[in-house]
Amino acid sequence: MSINKKMFDLGNKRSVIRELFEFGKKRSAEIGAENVYDFSLGNPSVEPPKEINDTIKELINGDNTVLVHGYTSAQGDLSVRKAISDFINKNHGLNLTPDNIYMTCGAAASLTISLKAILNAGEECIVFAPFFTEYKVFIENAGGVLVKSMPRESDLQIDVEDFASKITEKTRAVIINSPNNPSGVVYTEETIKAIAYVLQEKSKQFGNTIYLISDEPYRELVYGNVKVPYLINYYKDTIVCYSYSKALSLPGERIGYIAVSPNAEDSKNLYLAICGAGRSLGYVCAPALFQKVVAKNVDKTCDISVYKENRDILLENLTNFGYTCVKPDGAFYLFIKTLEPNALEFCEKAKKYNILIVPCDDFGVEGYARISYCVSKERVVKSLPAFKALAEEYK
Ligand code: PLP
């Protein structure tokens, strides 16, 4: 083959989630979509705030639409970056400028750019299990090596001792994702402080900066009085990878940003490396219309009460049926222990009841499945007898 084998393999092998999605479509054609309990994808089900569609209409009905649709600066329109840095400063008491912000096509692009900007061949990036499956692809594409840190089993918080033991002289980056996909766990302030302390000490010990990459597409999706610490306030060498995919229900529009901590050791050079990585990957000038749309709606969030209701219904009922899980405080995922050790087999059995849930081996842990509850309340309620019947198979 004269093509790149690694890329061929990535394109050729469908992810478990995509497989399930395809199965769901086939099954829907056979028995009707309303009878398939598809909890496979993290595709938001709530409408974007009304202001989003109003802003789009305003922008495209105005004069000078050639400017609306035209190229912006490679790193994003200046006024857009200013609206975002002002918003971050107001909410988190910081002093970012537009030159700390790089506009991207969502969190996936934010991550690939950040990793490319930091890693040299063979350098290590630590991720906390359970983790978003694409981290492996992104890290390896940047020439890096993924190193996994296992969580505390009781609450799926970071096991700080295990984390410290994974840091070597080759560690250059750590990715943290809170609220977490797939567990829904929000890392506590205590955990974050402990992580920051370990990173400071290890950076000193090895004489290298270790960057903390905060992957936070679910920042606003938290239920109750739970706070998601803003990592730049805890560790100076932080890069925030943000996306509007989930909080504004705009995943298909591909819009997000990278915020580089102004307090990082070499913040200006880090930002330049991010501009260089964006350039080398062809990720310049994020979608222009949507840059302007989000800039006018920086403080908006879709109605997350629907997700909270789904979480509460599932948590209560599934627990009663005999499933166990850590109470998720955020995102829109319930992470259950499978009722047999082999998660793949358990999720295959669930298909018999037309329940589509994701086995989590590829997320770095065994014996768990993810239920994405960003679906209608009707689907959640209608699925309960099927979850009950599945549990009864194991009694
Ligand atoms: N990071 C995590 C943890 C995610 O769950 C996702 C998407 O589901 C992404 C990154 C990618 O997000 P985006 O659609 O903004 O590229």
* Together in a domain, 137 and 222: yes
**Which range marks the domain in which residue 343 is found?**
5-49+302-392
How much distance in Å is there from the Cα of 66 to the middle of ligand 1? 30
* Together in a domain, 66 and 14: no
Segment 104-129 shows an average pLDDT of 98
* Together in a domain, 240 and 286: yes
Domain end among 295, 322, 339? 295
Ligand 1, atom 8, residue with closest C-alpha: 42
Give pTM, 2 decimals. 0.97
* Together in a domain, 112 and 133: yes
Q: Best mutation site among 183, 243, 254 for ligand 1, i.e. most ligand atoms within 8 A of its Cβ?
A: 243
Please give the pLDDT value at position 14: 77
Percent of the chain with pLDDT over 70: 100
Of 232, 200, 212, 209, the residue nearest 96 (C-alpha): 232
pLDDT in tens, 58-103: 999 988 899 999 999 999 999 999 999 999 999 999 999 999 999 9
* Together in a domain, 236 and 96: yes
Does residue 107 line the site of ligand 1, with CB under 6 A? yes
> Which of the 8 DSSP states describes residue 151?
B
* Together in a domain, 285 and 344: no
* Together in a domain, 281 and 144: yes
What is the domain-level CATH number for residue 333? 3.90.1150.10
The answer to whether the CB of 187 falls within 8 A of the CB of 157 is yes
pLDDT in tens, 173-199: 999 999 999 999 999 999 999 999 999
pLDDT in tens, 344-366: 999 999 999 999 999 999 999 99
* Together in a domain, 187 and 248: yes
Task: Tell me which residue has tokens 């980056």.
Answer: 173
* Together in a domain, 117 and 223: yes
Confidence of residue 1 (pLDDT cuts 50, 70, 90): confident
| Cβ contacts of 300 within 8 Å, gap of 6 or more | 49, 51, 52, 248
* Together in a domain, 132 and 64: yes
Please give the pLDDT value at position 13: 85
Range with lowest mean pLDDT among 17-26, 52-61, 82-91, 383-392? 17-26
The answer to whether the CB of 111 falls within 8 A of the CB of 215 is yes
* Together in a domain, 77 and 196: yes
* Together in a domain, 243 and 388: no
Asked whether residue 208 carries a pLDDT value surpassing 90, the answer given is yes
Number of domains observed in the structure of the chain: 2
Please give the pLDDT value at position 37: 96
